[in-house]
């Protein structure tokens, strides 16, 4: 028989063998205890790539200061050093629309002829092609050939002269045209394919001084002697293109003569959207279109008061000076 003490040691040894067997390879390990995960940032909570685990951002330990992580943003955290959207630029941008501003002074004059329009305190009483009521007798020639040299035979074929004046209601024109064959078959925008008078005005004389293309302040107006000439004269605005239309508000009258016609017109300043004052300058050209082919619609020749005139280049138009003869 075993001694009781020996029996105790045998039992103790058996218990220890059982415990060692639980840790041997091949036996199942107990499930580990899961500790709580740290809190995620708001970016991680709204992770745009759910298949890619976001990186956990631990909270800083109490009593410590952590610099914020730089985050890309569309709004700068500090104002730019060169300029701020709430303040004006410290340096003006390079001029584009008016690169000439530093050189076009109040005395600047374009290469074309200078025409002076007096303020008519007493405007023509009636627009009737009778010029007896005109207070200014100054006349400027229209004799420079600018189109259709092959069709032009001389002053009796086409030539002219004009008077010009203004008040605070309208621009006044009186045109005396020599034309040995009057032909006009077209109305409105097509009147240039016949005998007509055309004026070009650049309202922004200094702003457009070196700009050689037309823009919204450059106007071209046609004045037709009628279809046939001498009946129902009319006016039409071609430029600016966005404002093109017939101009029934323009008062116009035509009287036929032995060698052509006389035209008188009053163009309200409302057509241009701007009124001059004494000493105002505008770009200006006045032109005569000619058609000597009866029954046809064709522009054969054009004369201008401006020998440099090009249709869509305001820098080639002359200068119109508004003045008050009483001052």
Q: Which of 48-52, 53-57, 190-194 has the lowest mean pLDDT?
A: 53-57
**pLDDT > 50? residue 127:** yes
pLDDT score at 314 = 94
Angle, alpha carbons 314-268-197 (nearest 5°): 55
Query: What is the pLDDT averaged over residues 6-31?
Result: 48
CB atoms within 10 A of CB 258: 5
Strands 140-142 and 245-246: unpaired
- Cα–Cα dist 190/267, whole Å: 20
CB atoms within 10 A of CB 175: 25
> Which CATH entry fits the domain spanning 114-323: 2.60.120.620, 3.30.1300.10, 2.30.40.10, 2.60.40.1190?
2.60.40.1190
pLDDT score at 111 = 84
Domain ranges of the chain: 114-323
Question: Which positions ≥6 away from 229 have C-beta within 8 Å?
Answer: 182, 183, 184, 195, 254, 256, 261
Using an 8 Å Cβ cutoff, are 202 and 223 in contact? no
pLDDT score at 235 = 98
Tokens of 116: 């002076």
For 230-283, the pLDDT digits (tens) are: 999 999 999 999 999 999 999 999 999 999 999 999 999 999 999 999 999 999
The percent of residues in the chain predicted with pLDDT above 70, rounded, is 67
Higher pLDDT among residues 85 and 283, named by residue:
283
């Amino acid at each position: 028989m075993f001694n009781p003490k020996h029996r105790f040691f045998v039992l103790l040894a058996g218990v220890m063998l059982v415990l060692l067997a639980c840790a041997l390879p091949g036996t199942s390990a107990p499930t580990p205890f899961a500790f709580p995960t740290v809190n995620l940032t708001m970016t991680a909570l709204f992770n745009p790539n759910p298949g890619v685990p976001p990186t956990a951002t631990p909270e800083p330990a109490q009593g410590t200061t952590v610099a914020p992580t730089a985050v890309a943003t569309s709004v700068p955290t500090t104002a730019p050093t060169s300029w701020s959207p709430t303040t004006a630029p410290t340096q003006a941008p390079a001029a584009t629309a008016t690169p000439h501003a530093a050189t076009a002074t109040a005395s600047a004059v374009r290469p074309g002829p200078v025409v002076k329009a007096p303020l008519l305190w007493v405007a023509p009483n009636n627009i009737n092609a009778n010029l007896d009521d005109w207070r200014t007798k100054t006349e400027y020639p229209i004799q420079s050939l600018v189109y259709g040299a092959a069709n032009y035979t001389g002053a009796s074929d086409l030539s002219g002269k004009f008077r010009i004046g203004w008040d605070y209601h309208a621009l006044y024109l009186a045109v005396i045209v020599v034309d040995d064959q009057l032909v006009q078959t077209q109305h409105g925008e097509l009147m240039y394919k016949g005998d007509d008078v055309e004026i070009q005005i650049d309202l922004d004389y200094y702003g457009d001084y070196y700009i050689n293309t037309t823009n919204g302040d450059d106007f071209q107006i046609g004045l037709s002697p009628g279809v046939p000439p001498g009946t129902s004269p009319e006016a039409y605005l071609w430029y600016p293109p966005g404002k093109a239309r017939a101009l029934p508000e323009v008062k116009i009258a035509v009287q036929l003569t032995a060698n052509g016609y006389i035209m008188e017109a009053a163009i309200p300043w409302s057509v241009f959207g701007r009124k001059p004052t004494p000493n105002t300058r505008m770009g200006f050209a006045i032109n005569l279109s000619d058609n000597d082919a009866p029954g046809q619609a064709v522009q054969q020749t054009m004369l201008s008061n401006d020998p440099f005139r090009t249709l869509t280049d305001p820098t080639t138009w002359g200068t119109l000076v508004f003045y008050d003869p009483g001052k």
